[in-house]
Amino acid sequence: MRPFALVTVDDVRAAAAHIAGVAVRTPLLAPVSWPGLWLKPENLQPIGAFKVRGAVHALACLPSNALAGGVVTHSSGNHGQALAFAAQRCGVRCVVVMPDVAPPIKVEAVRALGAEVVLVPPADREARTEQIAAARGLVVIPPFDHLDIIAGQGTVGLEIVADLPDVACVLVPVGGGGLASGVATAVKGLRPSARVVGVEPEVAADAAESLREGRVVTWPTEQTYRTAADGLRTNLSDLTLAHLRERLDGIITVTEAEILSTVGALARSARIVAEPSGAVAPAAWLHRRDELRDRFGVVDGPVVAVVTGGNIDPTLLADLILGNT
Amino acid sequence: MRPFALVTVDDVRAAAAHIAGVAVRTPLLAPVSWPGLWLKPENLQPIGAFKVRGAVHALACLPSNALAGGVVTHSSGNHGQALAFAAQRCGVRCVVVMPDVAPPIKVEAVRALGAEVVLVPPADREARTEQIAAARGLVVIPPFDHLDIIAGQGTVGLEIVADLPDVACVLVPVGGGGLASGVATAVKGLRPSARVVGVEPEVAADAAESLREGRVVTWPTEQTYRTAADGLRTNLSDLTLAHLRERLDGIITVTEAEILSTVGALARSARIVAEPSGAVAPAAWLHRRDELRDRFGVVDGPVVAVVTGGNIDPTLLADLILGNT
């Protein structure tokens, strides 16, 4: 693996200036049912997920002539919506290549933001994106394998430390690793004593294995598509792995039942709508307190769980609120 | 009606200082599905409703010897939770007198915050509260008929103007009128050209009638208990009517079907959980745009709807997310 220049806290600060007034400055929530836990509700962003932060910053960093030609990306959904949202605000063309198994609600949401959607088999996403970019002269803005995207997502961590300077631990989901890389950069940079712990679904725990092996281990899509947390089916890139090896304290895994029941608990006790990917971090606090203590030394002191998004099928949401899984 | 000294913008500013760090500084949300509408999500407060603002400020204003004896109130639920929360933080005793028809989820929530609950028939609430206060030496903190409560709730308006200085119209639910009085005070005081419009359920439109008549018109509980918006079944007081006559531009009413369908729409499109009382203000924007234009001259310019709370029975919530009513 060649050495990478990693994102810095100053890069994240620059991103914060770009997203101000476009992304919501989300507060920390402390539901009375869960003393000691704070939620960072990124489901409240305009497109229902944190991804708007990275997308807005990445477009702001493009030279204006490159931006004017338009952008393209591949995404399981939320990054696609985020890029469509950011492109619409800039008035530039946007194409989103999506897996043909993506939830229909996510496909429709991207189209409603004025973007063109191209549906392909999951394994073909990256190749088709490159092909379309070359054929139409579009700039590729990938969902996580990009310094500006990582810096943009890192603003979540900047805000956590600003609002709760004595934070003991931040729990952050790991899919492609862009959010976890950015948050770990900001939190460790500003408060080195705080723990930053990644959370993955047990059935898509490729990042945990990659960190153990010290290289990007890819799990087959047949395996990772078994998780309901569709935003976390992706494998790491060399760039995100380099950030996580340096700055993440480790990874906890949670079961599908724990993820799904946490979606219901968040609606009932915190009054927010989370998608399964958005529920994995609070699920770790609800179900892995022992591991947080034994592996990471998190005993007292506030824990923040990032609720990454809220784009969930209404039928599934209703079931989970009733406690069915 | 004797003349009242009304709450001032400076009173609301003083309340803002008291609640800082205790109440959540809620952001404004702009879901992409509803261009032109901003939501003020007070369901994100620790107890799931804006009422924490007034309760925390009212206790902060009590002389310490009076506070030490403990407090008592009557409430359909959210003010009771708010006072219990505020009293628990101060370490003082709290008794909450609740109607025996209140949703069980609200009764349990008050008890979980360490308060004693006394259940009585709806019509007896005020008399029993006075009786308990006298017998046990507790200070009565009423849910809305109180200058400090009005000033505390007014911080919602202060924050709206701070975040969106060019706000054209604020939609605020009217139950007892405490929130509407406070919000109208802050918004009209800081931005006189903005409209502040109250919203009521059609079947509990006592405030609209009171404003037309120029006196507090009380609707019987058999009538007002027909609305699912259990936080809005209360009649005004002379004090809140005096504020609303002076500072509110008028009132819009919405139907039960509109209120209930808006609960589902807020979960699906804004990813927040609202109780029926919390959905009436966005319901007015979704279903009464003509009336906003024709009666209040609101054409362009951003509209803010206050989502007051999110304490809803999970079974009802699940039904409404699926579009059933």
Which chain B residue lies closest to A273 (C-alpha atoms)?
B271
Model pTM?
0.95
In this structure, are A89 and A228 located in the same domain?
no
**Least CA distance to B81: which residue of chain A?**
A32
Q: Are residues B94 and B65 in the same domain?
A: yes
For residue A218, tell me if it sits in a domain.
yes
What is the band of A2 on the pLDDT scale with cuts at 50, 70, 90?
low
B29 interaction partners in chain A (CB closer than 8 Å) = 24, 44, 46
Provide residues of B within 8 Å CB-CB of chain A: 24-33, 41, 43-44, 46-48, 85, 109, 112-113, 264, 267-268, 271-274, 310-311, 314-315, 317-319, 321-323
Quickly state the pLDDT bin for B309 (edges 50, 70, 90): very high
B318·A314 Cβ contact <8 A: no
What is the average pLDDT value for chain B, to the nearest integer?
A: 95
Asked whether the predicted pLDDT for residue A1 surpasses 80, the reply is no
Check pLDDT > 60 for residue B71.
yes
Dump pLDDT digits (tens) for B243-255: 999 999 999 999 9
Contact in structure between A107 and A101 (CB atoms under 8 Å): no
Domain end: B115, B140, B165, which one?
B140
Cβ contact B318–A318 (<8 Å): yes
Output the average pLDDT for chain A: 95
Q: What is the mean pLDDT of residues B56-83?
A: 93
Mark whether A152 and A277 lie in a shared domain.
yes
Contact A318 B321 (CB under 8 A): yes
A154 and A255 together in one domain? yes
Whether residues B185 and B291 share a domain: the answer is: yes
What ipTM goes with this model?
0.94
Domain boundary residue, one of B105, B140, B175 = B140
CA distance A97 to B245: 56
Q: How many domains does chain A have?
A: 2
The predicted-structure confidence for B221-265, as pLDDT tens digits, reads as follows: 888 889 999 889 889 999 999 999 999 999 999 999 999 999 999
Residues B133 and B176 in one domain: no
- Here the CATH number for the domain that contains residue A97 is 3.40.50.1100
Sheet with A71-74, side-by-side order of all strands: A116-120, A94-99, A71-74, A139-140
In a domain, A278, yes or no: yes
Q: What is the pLDDT of residues A70-82, one digit of tens each?
A: 999 988 679 999 9
Q: Report pLDDT for A103.
A: 77
- B63 and B209 inside one domain: no
Please check whether residues B207 and B241 belong to one and the same domain.
yes
Domain assignment present for residue A3? The answer is no
Q: Is the pLDDT of residue B85 over 80?
A: yes
Whether B3 is covered by a domain: the verdict is no
Do B64 and B167 reside in the same domain of the chain?
no
The reply to whether B285 falls in a domain is yes
pLDDT category, B274, cuts 50, 70, 90? very high
Question: Does residue B73 share a domain with residue B39?
Answer: no
Q: What is the model's pLDDT at position A4?
A: 75
Owning domain of residue A285: 9-49+148-321
Q: What is the pLDDT of residues B154-196, one digit of tens each?
A: 999 999 999 999 999 999 999 999 999 999 999 999 999 999 9
Q: Is residue B279 part of a domain?
A: yes
Residues B123 and B38 in one domain: no
Asked if B27's CB is within 8 angstroms of A272's CB, the reply is no
Query: Which residue of B110, B271, B313 to mutate against A (max A Cβ within 10 Å)?
Result: B271
Structural domain contains residue A241: yes
User: Looking at A147, A163, A179, which one is the last position of a domain?
Assistant: A147
Query: Do residue B175 and residue B289 come from a single domain?
Result: yes
Inter-chain residue contact A24 with B24, CB threshold 8 Å: no
* B201 inside domain: yes
